[in-house]
Amino acid sequence: MNRYCSINHDKRIIMTDQQIIEALIARDENVTCDFFYRKCRPLFASIIRHVFSYDVDYDEFVNEFYLYLMENDAHRLRQFGNKSTIFQWMKVVAIRYFLAKRDSLIDMEADEISFEPAEDEAINDSTSRYVAGMDVRNLFAAMPNKRYVYVIQRLILDDAEPKTVASELGVTVDNLYNIKKRAIAALTEVALNDIERYGRQIC
């Protein structure tokens, strides 16, 4: 469940599908957390798992889907016409959204990217020498979330404007900064694991 949600499970109210839609449109926190983030979680997780062939941040993608539904005064939620159950309707909308997101994501392979150590850099110990000579291509290849790879490449290596990268990914600038933080954390973890493996090899 989304970590920002807080639900009183002792207070359960039976609602019709239309009432749930209206509550979502009204940004009712309890209904949003209970229905969208908790009850729909297995549905969204299954869709994301089948649509994307690589690891993605579940919470990040679902939060973006929520913002998509709420755009333009929740225009998309207002299209619900009670012609199917709310779960079936949400399933169709989510599949279309995540398929479009997958197809719109730019190729994030980083085969041609690497850091080169400065020629005049003094390197004395083996660990520093290894870190300075790290091939970012290998680190990126070890990162399962290729979206993180793309964000690091564009924002840090290419020094692209945040607005441009946000537009390329179909997210807001604020969301992009959050993605960047998680991407750097993921890269750091991969690098530390790589250094640890190297340390075991030379011991």
- Domain with 175 in it: what CATH number? 1.10.10
Q: Which of 102, 3, 107 is nearest to 56 (CA)?
A: 102
**pLDDT tens per residue, range 30-61:** 999 999 999 999 999 999 988 887 778 899 89
Using alpha carbons, select from 158, 143, 79, 144 the residue that is nearest to residue 112: 158
Whether residue 162 is contained in a domain is answered as: yes
d(CA 76, CA 107): 28
Same domain, 91 and 145: no
Task: Specify whether 174 is located in the same domain as 135.
Answer: yes
Output the pTM of the full model. Answer: 0.57
Q: Which of 4-8, 90-94, 171-175, 191-195 has the lowest mean pLDDT?
A: 4-8
**Range(s) of the domain holding residue 31:** 17-104
Among the residue ranges 51-55, 67-71, 77-81, 196-200, the one predicted with the least confidence is 196-200
> Is residue 62, in this structure, part of any structural domain at all?
yes
Residue 24 is predicted with a pLDDT of 97
Domain end point (choices 49, 74, 104): 104
Q: How many domains does the chain have?
A: 2
Task: Report the share of the chain in percent with pLDDT over 90.
Answer: 35
Same domain, 90 and 31: yes
